[in-house]
Amino acid sequence: MKTTVLILATVFGLTAQAQSQDQRPQVPQISVTGEGKIKIVPDQAVISIGFQNTGKDSKEVKTLNDEVVDKVIRFLKKTGIPSTDYKTTNVSLYKNYDYEKKKYNFQASQSLTVTLKDLSKYDEVMMGLNDAGVNSISGVEFKSSKMEDYEKEARKKAVLDAKQKAQDYVSVLGQKIGKALLITDNTQSNIPIPMYKSNMVAMAADGAQRETLAVGELEINTNVSVTFALE
């Protein structure tokens, strides 16, 4: 009997507490989203390069590849590119069957990425890599050395944009926004979007100007959701 009374008292107590919480006045609030965009001109490029050799003997093709690697590294050092700005990304050596000639051969390949922090050296680097034996350029990705600073600026602009939207909405109601109750970052991945507009210009042997690299612009986009209290 005492147990039953205790259970009923607990249930009634919890119910009363829940009703008391439900009766608390809700804080008037507004939720909006804000967007921050920053357009920047890149000052760095990450160049993905590769080379491969094919032959009858595995040691032969590996030796050929090693010679190219040595030439590439020597050239990069001579150009003044720090060793921290280039690295090997893939190495492979495998046996391949040629169905036309009906015989096996070996293929050795290697790929590297080179971070070029001085875009004025682009043509010099590309020509030097080609002379060193690089026979494949798989891509060029543009970046900025001040990416973190620009990302911070984009986040601030996103919050200011959300604040302005909230003020626009409540101003017609004769109200004001109060402190922020909740801020949520909705940015999935802050990968800069290339916007090709400007080009690198090089001088040809005859003195004429030639456009050899489309540097363009990068766009950093940040999105946030902000909930403000209303006054």
Report the alpha-carbon distance of residue 70 to residue 227 in Å, rounded.
58
Could you tell me where the beta strands, DSSP code E, fall in the chain?
29-40, 44-55, 86-98, 103-116, 136-143, 177-185, 193-195, 199-203, 209-214, 217-230
Say yes or no: 49 and 112 in one domain. yes
Residues 90, 111: contact at Cβ < 8 Å? yes
Say yes or no: 201 and 158 in one domain. yes
19 inside domain: no
Strands 103-116 and 86-98: antiparallel
Report the Cα–Cα distance between both ends of the chain, in Å, rounded: 52
Q: Can you give the pLDDT of all 231 residues of the chain as single tens digits? A: 545 544 444 545 555 555 555 555 688 999 999 999 999 999 999 999 999 988 888 999 999 999 999 999 999 999 999 999 999 999 999 898 888 888 888 999 999 999 999 999 998 999 999 999 998 888 888 999 999 999 999 999 999 999 999 999 999 999 999 999 999 999 986 555 444 443 444 444 444 445 566 778 889 999 999 999 999
Given 143, 159, 189, the domain boundary residue is 143
Residues 145, 43: contact at Cβ < 8 Å? yes
Could you tell me where the beta strands, DSSP code E, fall in 56-143?
86-98, 103-116, 136-143
Report the alpha-carbon distance of residue 122 to residue 115 in Å, rounded.
11
Say yes or no: 196 and 216 in one domain. yes
Given 143, 169, 198, the domain boundary residue is 143
Say yes or no: 181 and 198 in one domain. yes
pLDDT for the residue 19: 53
13 inside domain: no
Say yes or no: 79 and 95 in one domain. yes
